[in-house]
Structure 1
């Protein structure tokens, strides 16, 4: 009788484990298939990062990353307008991605080894470099002048991490958005602002009271981020193919000319 009871318990346990395994498999939904069924991509973008993602004078979301998202929609769904934008920040974009709120992040997101542990990255679509912006009358001319100076960064960005190597003896002030960081610099709450050169160019586009120092201290490859896991591998394949086609066709070059070089 005891042996029969043990056998029954093992049998039940086996069924439970098998059921849990099957449930787990059923929960994995391929992201590309989900997009095709929905007939729309949902993209996390920034709203405060001119010229990549910002609200223009007509109160519409615009920029390099926005145009890129439309091109991705064209390649995946044959229609550049089949895209929905969701605002993300450096602090919440990975959470929004891995929770399934969005399909992808196209938001000046730099590829790093640390981030590769939690998201899938496409091939890069743009290479930026971190630079220093100061008041045009500032006596700061290079990184050596940042000792004991108040340096402004945006929290959750690669500048947040790199500042410790670039200017280890500086005094760091972190802000949640680029607009807040630039406002702090304009109000003399800091001596310099460090972030990607392409973003700095957007900040001073309509404000000529500041200058960007010539040296670049890093290379920042921007890529499209997807949810970590096998459910994103098919989508990653199609996105990489789309980016390769955009490069070969000159579409990526046109985006750079439109938003960066002008």
Structure 2
């Protein structure tokens, strides 16, 4: 997540940590006929489905709405699943596993999609897709706090989501952020006065501020360009699936699908705001 994705909860319930919550993301296709080999010779963890690890909630990239997991990441991975001739299913897992690639290596998931920043540290354990999103960090404050910029956070109680690049950035700048397990908890911490400001991915803040009550109570006082890019990940050496993911992203940008999904989930689309890189960068 801007992350060092990504990124999220340090502790989840034991049942979630061991088994995860399996949720259908809503991609229609056949069941694969019992074969674990999809189109293009891609081997899958489970026949007939592309199993995606994520960490909920992280709107607008992935969150559960009316019993269905939806979001920008979900929609992009649906394109991958469609090309493979299977459906996508989503597994909610602890964010710390995204850095190690644990669920990918164990074969529980085929890929991970969690608004996760491409970093040199993470690339040691997983293979990243081409970048699909350029991200910045926002400083959101209580409107009555008197804070007007990131510089004004010194000496104040600042919140951030655990295991994320927002948290890392705050620490590198000399702050001691209060860590919250999820983006929802970060917002609640600000709402209840546990912290006066938060540092978190700007698209997440954009989603919060669509709510009139949030827009009245909070305001963005700084937008930090940290040079971060998001990528999806697969197990190291899983070249066929990685190629399928890269193709889906590249094709979506070329045929206008990416723009449509961006505007649906995030907001007005700026050609300069979305990366068109052919290979992952390291932030």
Q: Do both proteins adopt the same fold according to a TM-score greater than 0.5, normalized to the shorter chain?
A: yes
Matched residues in 1 for 2:177 and 2:76: separation?
33
**CA-based RMSD:** 2.1
Work out whether 1:146 is the aligned partner of 2:153. yes
| Corresponding position of 1:12 | none
Matched residues in 2 for 1:212 and 1:73: separation?
36
Count of residue pairs brought into register by the alignment: 226
| Corresponding position of 1:72 | 80
Structure 2: 5+ residue runs without aligned partners? 1-35, 269-283
Per-residue deviation at 1:40? 1.3
1:52 to 61, 69, 80: 61
1:35 to 30, 38, 44: 44
Q: Is the 8 A contact 2:80 2:244 kept in 1?
A: no
| Corresponding position of 1:160 | 167
Per-residue deviation at 1:68? 1.2
| Corresponding position of 1:3 | none
Higher alpha-carbon Rg? 1
Per-residue deviation at 1:147? 0.9
Per-residue deviation at 1:33? 3.4
TM-score, normalised by the number of residues in structure 1: 0.80
1:197 to 191, 202, 208: 202
Alignment of 1:49-198 (within 5 A): 49-56=58-65, 58-77=66-85, 82-93=87-98, 94-165=101-172, 167-168=173-174, 170-198=175-203
Matched residues in 1 for 2:95 and 2:74: separation?
17
Q: Give SS of 2:198's match.
A: strand
TM-score, normalised by the number of residues in structure 2: 0.74
Matched residues in 1 for 2:79 and 2:193: separation?
40
Matched residues in 2 for 1:98 and 1:184: separation?
35
Structure 1: 5+ residue runs without aligned partners? 1-28
Q: Is the 8 A contact 1:149 1:171 kept in 2?
A: no
Work out whether 1:248 is the aligned partner of 2:254. yes
Matched residues in 1 for 2:171 and 2:145: separation?
22
Q: Is the 8 A contact 2:143 2:219 kept in 1?
A: yes
Matched residues in 2 for 1:142 and 1:30: separation?
52
| Corresponding position of 1:236 | 242
The 1:239/1:151 distance shift into structure 2, 3 A limit, reads same
Matched residues in 1 for 2:91 and 2:131: separation?
21
